[in-house]
A and B are shown apart, each in its own frame.
Chain A
Amino acid sequence: MSVLSELGSLRKSKSLDRGPSQRHDGKWALFFLAPWFVGLVLIVAGPLLASLYLSLTDYDLLSNANFIGLENYVEMFGDRRLRKSLVVTFTYVIVSVPLQLMAALGLALLLDRGLRGLAIYRSAFYLPSLLGSSVAIAILWRQIFGADGLVNQLLAVIGIDGPGWISHPDYALGTLMVLNVWTFGSPMVIFLAGLRQIPTMYYEAASLDGASKLQQFFTITLPLLSPIIFFNLVLQVINAFQTFTQSYIVSNGTGGPVDSTLFYTLYLYQEGFGNLNMGYASAMAWLLLVIIAGMTAANFLLSKYWVFYND
């Protein structure tokens, strides 16, 4: 609905500077959007409503669902593993998303200096974003950070006896955070685009006035880039909350060692498919929705204080 109105207003603003001859656009737009709408209803809205209903039942996949009211939601309060999974997920989001954005911005600044072969670098750095949540990379990560993996072999060269990066509860989550930071490519590309939009005349004027590079960064680049930082932040926070593949593969689906990588979605999956508590898992999905909505709303509210729109 909000989507529709957004599209509508976009169209309106466009049609002002076109002519009346293009009035048929609307029909064609709807025609081309039809597959998307069908998908939205069948693949998203249908299951969404079903899961809302199922969250109020004791559905176990194998037999009929019985309505049990809010019991699943009440049960969550006493669920020790649910609490653990929230701690793991929040830690992951709060630590790895800022680090990832800093890495992305740092590299975008480096690449923005008009290097030769920029396109190649850009692609190379973007690659991890495409691969980052794939099964192959998770398996690779398991090899690299294994007790006898590449990292520990390198450490052994300089005489350090490295720990089991993925098999010790103190390090496993950190190792997955490194994986997330490594996928800085997609925010980086967006930062690059944003940096290109900052007019060079500001920098020229600033350097004439004797501002150092650092001062220019804090007084020109950061404020003008803040809407894009905000955009990336919202996006990456939502993504990070839904992390699943990495821990599923690295921990063989257990969330171990000792639940140290028990992401919320992994626990949801375990409850739904492993323990056949699909009703409870559906309720968990709705709690996640509320959490992400809350975090996103908080982001939008806080954005007033630091995001600068240069209208």
Chain B
Amino acid sequence: MTSRTPWKRMAALLAASTLALTACGQADNLAEDEETTAPVQTAQETETDQPPATEGDGGGEPGEATIRFAWWGSDSRHQMNQQLIDAFEAEHPNITVVPDYTDWGGYWDKLATQTAAGDTPDVMMQEERYLREYADRGILANLNDFDVDTSKIDPSILGSGEFSDGLWGIATGVNVRVMMADPEVFAAAGVEMPDDKTWTWDDYNEIMSQISANTEDGVYGAQDFGIPESVELTVWARQHGQDLWDPSGEIGFDPETMAARWQVTLDLIEAGGAPEVSQGLEINAAGPEQSLVATGRGAISPFWSNQLEAITSAAGHELQLLRYPGESQFERQGLFLKPAMALSMSASSEYPEEAALFLDWMLNSPEAGEIILSDRGLPANLDVRAHIMDQLGEADQQAAQFVEDVSADILDSANTPPRGAGEVNSLLQRINEEVLFGQITPQEGAERFIEEASAITGD
């Protein structure tokens, strides 16, 4: 027989305990703050009997040290980095490097949580959009204070880690934004490959629409999803003599410029040259291996030059790299060398000398270069770059050659993004969707983006 009390009691109990769980926060870490700011040297002295490895070269043999190296990436990168760690440990038996890795999305959650707990990895991968976020809060070490050699680093990208009177991260390599083109789709459509030094955005629209029209259903001209990533805007704004950010870290373009870029995509979708919006959204979210070019469903997909290897192997045949349209259409050229990712060090590392040694070794030693190859972009160290060139795979060599060719024409680097750039990128993603789905006009989208992005980076 159903009786009143048990069910009602159970409901109340469950309600109470579930309520308690909704407010699950992060672990209590306020007490740890003092620890992280404590002098590093003391910790080191208490843990090792031997004299600590300190400034200068005359200090004798350094003691045992354990440092942690954090990165994001795929399985192949995890294996590669493990190989790297093994090679470093063989050279420096007194140093143990602990790997700490995850995928891109989880990486920033993890890094923020570890930092909150006073447990920042000694050496970590950083990215342009987050570098300031961490550096300005005193979490990263100023690499100028350590014995890290930057004399061979490509000067055009070294600057990306220099601000606020310090060097907070060193770019590991360079990338260029490219249009990856599938010659087979062009051939099937009977359309000639454009001259990428002179083609305009109007040519782009025309050629892409023609390819869609000339091929079977489900094969498109371009994978064009408006401005899902800030780089699409950076290239476009630079072509118009502007930039995403101005040198002081404020919005560097006007709303009309941004709106015009959206109009390119809207016109292209209208003309059938790109998949319709909701399909485009799925394709865009599915990653490089599922892109139109990688799956033979389109003539062109935009990517970074270091992604060519993966996309070529997914496509199963050689692809061609094209410069962005419009490089000679407006005020100036838009392409730029982008620092692929950066290596940084924790300001609270227990073994800063050892961490700096490891960081320096990864950047500058030919041995490390041979293992890393172009995984972190075309190596930033120019000697290492030359050293590994003939060891690269076919597609990587093709990408390296392209970067070389383009470099000659590149005018300057894009301005460094301000603090909050990570958040701005997700803002851009949302407004991009609203504009493409027709919920707001390009002009409204541009004005709102500028207003909200300024608010995010302003404080």
Instruction: Give the B-binding residues of A (Cβ under 8 A).
Output: 2-3, 6, 10, 44-48, 50-52, 54, 60-65, 146-147, 163-164, 166-169, 194, 197-199, 224, 227-228, 230-231, 234-235, 238-239, 241-242, 252-254, 256-259, 270, 272-276, 278, 282, 285-286, 288-289, 292-293, 296, 309-311
Contacts and interface: CB of A to CB of B under 8 A. Distances in A.
Interface string B90-124: 00000000000000010011001101100000000
Given A238-B18, A311-B3, A47 B281 contact: no
9 interchain residue pairs of minimum CB distance = A51-B25, A164-B278, A309-B4, A167-B278, A168-B278, A50-B28, A61-B116, A167-B281, A273-B109
Contacts of A270: 426
Given A50-B25, A258-B430, A288-B23, A273 B17 contact: no
B408 interface: no
A254 B429 CA distance: 9
A227 B11 CA distance: 10
Interface string B260-297: 00000000000000000111011001000000000000
B61 interface: no
B27 A197 contact: no
Interface in B5-41: 7-28, 30, 33
B139 interface: yes
Given A50-B28, A164-B282, 17 more contacts: A48-B23, A61-B112, A63-B138, A65-B30, A163-B278, A197-B2, A199-B1, A224-B2, A256-B433, A258-B434, A276-B112, A285-B22, A285-B23, A289-B22, A296-B15, A309-B3, A310-B1
A234 B23 contact: no
A235 B30 CA distance: 34
B294 to A, nearest CB: 15
B201 interface: no
Instruction: Provide the main secondary structure of the chain B interface.
Output: helix
Contacts of B74: none
B108 to A, nearest CB: 7
A61 to B, nearest CB: 4
Contacts of B134: 62
Interface string B403-432: 000000000000000000011001001100
Nearest to B440: A258
Contact of B20 (A44, A50, A288, A309): A44
B439 interface: yes
B13 A289 contact: no
Nearest to A250: B285
Contacts of B10: 231
Contacts of A166: 282
A292 B278 contact: no
A276 B133 contact: yes
Given A61-B116, A285-B23, A285-B25, A147 B282 contact: yes
A278 B139 CA distance: 17
Nearest to A197: B2
A159 to B, nearest CB: 15
A258 B433 CA distance: 6
A146 B109 CA distance: 28
Contacts of B22: 241-242, 285, 288-289, 292
Nearest to B24: A47
A6 B25 contact: no
29 contacts: A2-B12, A2-B13, A3-B16, A50-B25, A60-B137, A62-B137, A64-B33, A147-B278, A147-B279, A163-B278, A168-B278, A197-B1, A227-B4, A231-B10, A238-B14, A242-B22, A254-B426, A254-B430, A257-B281, A257-B437, A258-B439, A272-B26, A274-B422, A275-B426, A276-B112, A286-B23, A288-B23, A309-B3, A310-B1
B172 to A, nearest CB: 23
